[in-house]
Every structure is written in structure tokens, then in C-alpha cells.
Amino acid sequence: MTANARFPVPPGVASKAHINATSYEELYRLSVESPEKFWDKQARSLIQWRSLWRKVVSWDFAQANVQWFVGGKLNVSENCLDRHLLHRGDNVAIIWEGNDPQDVRRITYRELHREVCRTATLLKKYGVGRGDRVAIYLPMIPEAAICMLACARIGAIHTVVFAGFSAESLRDRINDCGCKLLITANEGVRGPKTIPLKETSDEAVAACPTIKNILVVRRTDTPCSMTPGRDISYEEELAALGDEYDTAVESMDSEDPLFILYTSGSTGKPKGVLHTTGGYLLHVTATHKYIFDIKEDDIFFCGADVGWITGHSYVVYGPLSNGATTVMFESIPTYPDAGRYWDVVERHKVTIFYTAPTAIRALVKEGDHHVKRYDRSSLRILGTVGEPINADAWLWYHDIVGEGRCPIVDTWWQTETGGVLISPLPGATETKPGSATRPFFGVQPVVVDEGGTVLDGNGVTGRLCIKYPWPGMMRTVYGDHQRFVQTYFSMYPGLYFTGDGCRRDEDGYYWITGRVDDVLNVAGHRLGTAEVESAIVRSGVVAEAAVVGIPHDVKGQGIGAFCVLRDDAGEGIDLVERVVRSVREVISPIATPDALWFVSGLPKTRSGKIMRRILRKIGEGEYAAVGDTTTLAEPSVVEEIVEVVKRSRDV
Ligand code: PRX
């Protein structure tokens, strides 16, 4: 089968799907010709409102002001829980698959509602209320979802921090948005490792003046230190509460903040992406329903961690709003062995499976036998997210995992977009391996060239922008609206700039080619080159660093770091260790460089700007293609760098 293959909608899928090819075309046309009419209807049918809106959308890209369902009132937790109690109260909301495959919890909607109400009561007892920020630094345990929903219930704004981030990263996030409370666990377990979450939290909070309390969930029996007056045991508090809990919900404005999630940009520190209530909930509910073709008895398994946007939108909010059963997976795909995902699929009869290309590539290497020894007949739809998927990985996913039966939805979106913007619909869209295919309803992509000229028609390559707001889009960078304007709306006035390059092929299909800015996508994790460079310099042995993405067969992109040592750095392998340790401590192990090259200088223009283009080419192994170096202050450094890199690759 060639990489240019096309995969028609499998027979039988279209007739049963919510959307088929004809209805997609009709609805898409309506959604862009009359967006207000389209979204008004979706909002009425998919979401439960406490009161309706005055205006569907109000927007001004120049000022980066966007509002959806202006004046509408609702509560996200009520939508995800209370509204299902009457007809689906005893359906399973969450299947929790622990790190140990024997460790499984099934939580019905009724039980989840109770736990969320109890937790909300507890939060209120400790002074958390509407508009307060709460940091959640938890592993993939049901309490993570429970705490998110409890915040939403009382109008508090959560900021989930991935439990693999360092104390410093946690501290910066807490301080940036001034969290009042931190929720963590004594420790986390992931594969063969334990993660000392409480210890890291203590270290972080030592420099967080706004934190009043730490709520500690007990995940394991390992004791942890508890500071009297500050630290609270979640289990003890809940036991004391018993059934004396409050079921009240805050009536939130459609534009009230729901959460802040930090993500890396091309400059500076990670920014707090702010999402609001009505538009976000509608967007994740609609995309989850139509893109995964959700039906009442589906078992939906998204392998993402709640520390990322995919976990927010498609482990927690989208599935629960739709009243589906969502699988929460605490472990990693290779524990206890590389068959784990398929073991989960077989045991829980998963019908829809959603993961990242990096995980697929890692599993391809482990061999087909790990897949084939499990029964995957329950699967009907497969999805990918987070980075471009190469045709080989796509075909393996399709042929081996999906036995050639299951449509693949390659979903393109971002932390900023809240939910998916470009993706096939399983019953409607013929797929091509590696293409995210067509826009979701209401999404109006445009391709522009570097100068900002809109490239009309098909068969064009450029940068991806969006010209009309969608309900789930971020509303601001927390505490820095100017950065929001600057990053997304100033490059191409009148358009939202995604930061991605793309091609629209002859059939109008979108192919995302990756970031065109200084953002890296390492194993589906987003990192800014500036962030990593600053962590490298913090090691104390490096005077200056330049980081570029390098090809990596599993991670998609790896991190290549060119470092100029300080004069007083000394010598030896200890230097590498110090740099690596610094990156892990300042950011997280996910930012560990894959290649470190010590060089005597970096290629710079005469005005002192680092020429990353050259370093990127060298990192890619295209030594002869570095292009024009005559504008460099010292062209000779390029030869030296090429030598260093070549030598490192020969060994
Ligand atoms: O470059 C695109 C890539 O991931 C970036 C967004 O990263 P993040 O905010 O961490 O969100 C990831 C999960 C939604 C995008 O700018 N990306 C995401 N999905 C795809 C993708 N690239 C190609 N194909 C995709 N399906």
C-alpha cells in the first residue's frame, strides 16, 4: 500500500454515523455561511443552560476580544454530572485503569456526582470560591477529574500542572496565576517509577506566598510529611464530612473562566491559556460527539494525561458532557509490557481509542505480536493527536491495530483552540494517511504566505491561520492580554495565527507540516526553544545555548542543543550531566536534550542574532544545505559546528 493511498469511509460506518458525507457538506456550508444560526442550534441541543444568551458571538480580532453566548448562564459540572443522573445515573462515567493492571475502579455518574459534591464542599470549607485559582498537581487518578469538576462546580478556576513537571515549573505556574490552594498526592506511580509529588510540592510552595493550603490525596501507602495548619488529608476530611455535603452549583456566566492551562510559546515563560465556560464546553461536547461519533454504549479511551489540553477536553469534559464512559489510564503504554494498551482495549471493551503518533511509533518498534495477542474486535474508531503522523505509523495503526476496519481521525488542534479544529469525521470523510483532512463545523482555515497574502484555491502551501472565531478558542493569556494580541493576532491582522505550517492539497485536504516558530514538539509535548536554552544556561557551565528540533524516529522531534561552555566550566562528562540535570530540574525530564554539542561559538549575524536556520539544517544532518553564511559575523564557526556534529554521529 502506498503512502498516497486513500481510505474511503468503511461500509456500514456511514449509515450508522451521526454525520455522513452529505450531511457534512450541508452542515459545514451552513456553519460558515450562518455561524450564529449553526452554533445557536448546537448550543441549545448539546448543552444545558440555566438561562439563554443575548448574542451568540461578539468578536474583534484586532483587540483579541471574543465572547460566545453572551449573557448565557450554565455550570460545566452540572452539564457533566447532574443532567445525566435521571437517565444514566448508573452508567459508568469513569473506568480507571491503574498502573497495576489489576487495579481498576468503575465510577458511575451517580458516584462521581457524589464525590464531586463532597470535594466541592471541602474546597468551600477551606475558603475556595468563585474566581479563586486552584492548582492541581495530581497523577492520572479519578481524583484529578473529581477536583477539576469540583472547581467548576463552585466557580473556581483550576490550573492543572502535569505531574512530571519540576518544583520550579509548578512554582512559576502557581505564582503566575496566584493560586490559593494546591491539590496533590503523596506520590504518583507510573510504570516502574514512583514520583514524589508531595515532596516536589513542598519545594515549590516554599516560594508561593498565595498558597494557603495543600490538599493531599493518598495514592500509595508511602507516608509523606504534612505541615500542620497548611496541609490537609483529602481522605480524612472526606471521612469526616460523610454525607453532609452540598449539591449546590454556581450559576456561571458563559464567559466566566473555567481553567488556565500553561503552554510553551516561542519566547519567554509558558503562558497561561485561559478558557471560559460556555463556548469551551460546547466546543468539546460537539467535537467529541461528531468526531468520535459517540453513542450511548461507547467506551472511549483517550490515553492523554489530564496535565495537557487533550486530557482536559477528551478525557474529562467532552466525554462526561456527552454522558459517555471515559477510560482514565494511569500507566504508560509499555508497562508491564508493550501490549498494555491492547490489554486495556480487550478487558474494557474499548470502542474508540485516541492516542499520539509518538506512542504509535514506539509501539511499532516493539512488534505486532504485542497487538495481536489481544482481542480488538470492540474497536470501531481510532484517533491521533498532537503532532503530524507519518504515513508508515498511520498505516500500521490502521492495518494492525484497527485490522483495517476502523476509520482513523487525525485531529489537529492546540491548547489554544480548546478542541479539535481540523479532522475527518468517521462516517463522512475519506482519509489519506498523514492528513488531518477537513475543517470541523464552523472552522474557517486560511493558508497565507510569509508576507500574509491569503493563498486561495487548492494546491497551496503556507502558514495556517483561522479567520473566524470558534466557541472553544482561548480568550486571553492570563494576566497579559497584550501577549495574547501579540502572539496570535498581530502577525497577520484580522486572522488568528496558529504557528503551524500547512499544505492544502488538490482536494482541499489540510496537511499540517509542523511549527514554523521556535516551538518544539517533542514526543507530542510542546516546549519553547527559549525555555530549554535558559534551563541549559542555568546549569552554570554554559555561557550560551541554542536549541533546535532534530529528527527523532520515535519522538518525531528531539532536542538538539548547541552549547558554548563558560571559560571556567572545566572539562569532562560531568558537564553533560550538569546540563541535563539542570534541564530536568528547571523544566522536567521531558525537556532532556537528545543531543548536546559543545562548540566554541554560535553562528550569529553581525547584529548578534543567532541564525537558527543554519543550526536546524546541521541538526537535520543536511550539512551541505546550510545556505548562505556570508552574512555571519564569523562564518568559520559553521565548519567547526558541522565537524562536532558529524563526529558525534560517527561514534
Ligand atoms: O504543531 C501542532 C501540533 O501540536 C501543536 C499544539 O500543541 P499543544 O498545544 O500541546 O496541543 C496538542 C494537543 C492538541 C500544534 O500547533 N499538532 C497537534 N495536533 C496535530 C499537530 N500536528 C499535526 N497533526 C495533528 N493532528
Q: How far is the CA of 249 from the centre of ligand 1 (A)?
A: 34
Q: How far is the CA of 205 from the centre of ligand 1 (A)?
A: 31
Which residues does 371 contact at the CB level (< 8 Å), separation at least 6? 339, 342, 363, 400, 401
Q: Tell which one of 412, 440, 488 to mutate to probe ligand 1, the residue whose CB is within 8 A of the most ligand atoms.
A: 412
* Cα Rg, the chain, nearest whole Å: 24
Question: By alpha-carbon position, which residue is closest to atom 26 of ligand 1?
Answer: 412
The three state secondary structure string of 23-67 is: HHHHHHHHHHHCHHHHHHHHHHHHCCCCECCCEEEEEECCCCEEE
Which residues does 21 contact at the CB level (< 8 Å), separation at least 6? 9, 14, 427, 428, 429
Atom of ligand 1 nearest to the CA of 416: 9
Q: Residue 626 above 90 pLDDT?
A: no
Q: How far is the CA of 487 from the centre of ligand 1 (A)?
A: 17
Q: Tell which one of 261, 312, 394, 414 to mutate to probe ligand 1, the residue whose CB is within 8 A of the most ligand atoms.
A: 414
Q: How far is the CA of 639 from the centre of ligand 1 (A)?
A: 34
Q: How far is the CA of 61 from the centre of ligand 1 (A)?
A: 22
Atom of ligand 1 nearest to the CA of 515: 1
For 513, the 3-state DSSP assignment is strand
Question: How far is Cα 427 from Cα 422, in angstroms, rounded to an integer?
Answer: 15
Dihedrals phi, psi of 106, to nearest 5 degrees: -115, 125
Q: Residue 514 has what pLDDT? A: 94
Q: Residue 266 has what pLDDT? A: 87
Atom of ligand 1 nearest to the CA of 411: 26
Atom of ligand 1 nearest to the CA of 420: 14
Q: How far is the CA of 587 from the centre of ligand 1 (A)?
A: 20
Nearest to 286 by CA among 22, 45, 56, 466: 45
Q: Tell which one of 410, 470, 500 to mutate to probe ligand 1, the residue whose CB is within 8 A of the most ligand atoms.
A: 500
DSSP run (H or E) holding 445? strand 445-448
Mean pLDDT, the chain, integer: 97
Dihedrals phi, psi of 316, to nearest 5 degrees: -105, -75
Other CB atoms closer than 10 Å to residue 638's CB: what's the count? Answer: 22
Q: Residue 634 has what pLDDT? A: 87
Atom of ligand 1 nearest to the CA of 423: 26
Other CB atoms closer than 10 Å to residue 531's CB: what's the count? Answer: 25
- Sequence letter at residue 258: L
Other CB atoms closer than 10 Å to residue 449's CB: what's the count? Answer: 12
Question: By alpha-carbon position, which residue is closest to atom 24 of ligand 1?
Answer: 388
Question: By alpha-carbon position, which residue is closest to atom 6 of ligand 1?
Answer: 414
Q: Residue 573 has what pLDDT? A: 75
Q: How far is the CA of 310 from the centre of ligand 1 (A)?
A: 10
Q: Residue 2 has what pLDDT? A: 54
- pLDDT category at 625 given cuts 50, 70, 90 is confident
Q: Tell which one of 526, 527, 588 to mutate to probe ligand 1, the residue whose CB is within 8 A of the most ligand atoms.
A: 526
Question: By alpha-carbon position, which residue is closest to atom 10 of ligand 1?
Answer: 526
Question: By alpha-carbon position, which residue is closest to atom 7 of ligand 1?
Answer: 414
Q: How far is the CA of 386 from the centre of ligand 1 (A)?
A: 4
- Report whether 428 contacts 9 (CB < 8 A): yes
Question: By alpha-carbon position, which residue is closest to atom 11 of ligand 1?
Answer: 414
Q: How far is the CA of 328 from the centre of ligand 1 (A)?
A: 21
How far apart, in Å, are the Cα atoms of 59 and each of 64, 70, 645? 8, 11, 49
Mean pLDDT over 195-215 rounds to 98
Q: Please report the DSSP string for 321-353 in residue order.
A: HTT-EEEEE-S-TTSSSTTHHHHHHHHHT-SEE
Mean pLDDT over 205-230 rounds to 98
Q: Residue 1 above 60 pLDDT?
A: no
Q: How far is the CA of 414 from the centre of ligand 1 (A)?
A: 5
| Span 104-153, pLDDT tens digits | 999 999 999 999 999 999 999 999 999 999 999 999 999 999 999 999 99
Q: Residue 485 has what pLDDT? A: 98
Q: How far is the CA of 250 from the centre of ligand 1 (A)?
A: 33
Q: Residue 570 has what pLDDT? A: 86
Q: Tell which one of 443, 512, 513, 518 to mutate to probe ligand 1, the residue whose CB is within 8 A of the most ligand atoms.
A: 512
Q: How far is the CA of 19 from the centre of ligand 1 (A)?
A: 24
Question: By alpha-carbon position, which residue is closest to atom 5 of ligand 1?
Answer: 414
- Report whether 407 contacts 10 (CB < 8 A): yes
Mean pLDDT over 451-472 rounds to 98
Q: Tell which one of 521, 527, 588 to mutate to probe ligand 1, the residue whose CB is within 8 A of the most ligand atoms.
A: 521
- Report whether 556 contacts 386 (CB < 8 A): no
* Percent of the chain whose predicted confidence (pLDDT) is above 90: 95
| Span 147-180, pLDDT tens digits | 999 999 999 999 999 999 999 999 999 999 999 9
Q: How far is the CA of 302 from the centre of ligand 1 (A)?
A: 15
- Sequence letter at residue 273: V
Q: How far is the CA of 524 from the centre of ligand 1 (A)?
A: 7
- pLDDT category at 3 given cuts 50, 70, 90 is low
Q: Residue 268 has what pLDDT? A: 82
- Report whether 466 contacts 445 (CB < 8 A): yes
Which residues does 606 contact at the CB level (< 8 Å), separation at least 6? 631, 632, 633
Q: Residue 6 above 60 pLDDT?
A: yes
| Span 630-649, pLDDT tens digits | 888 888 999 999 999 999 98
Q: Residue 394 has what pLDDT? A: 98
Q: Residue 252 has what pLDDT? A: 98
Q: Report residues whose beta carbon is within 6 angstroms of any ligand 1 atom.
A: 263, 309-310, 385-388, 410-415, 436, 498-500, 512, 514-515, 521, 526
Q: Residue 429 has what pLDDT? A: 98
Q: How far is the CA of 516 from the centre of ligand 1 (A)?
A: 12
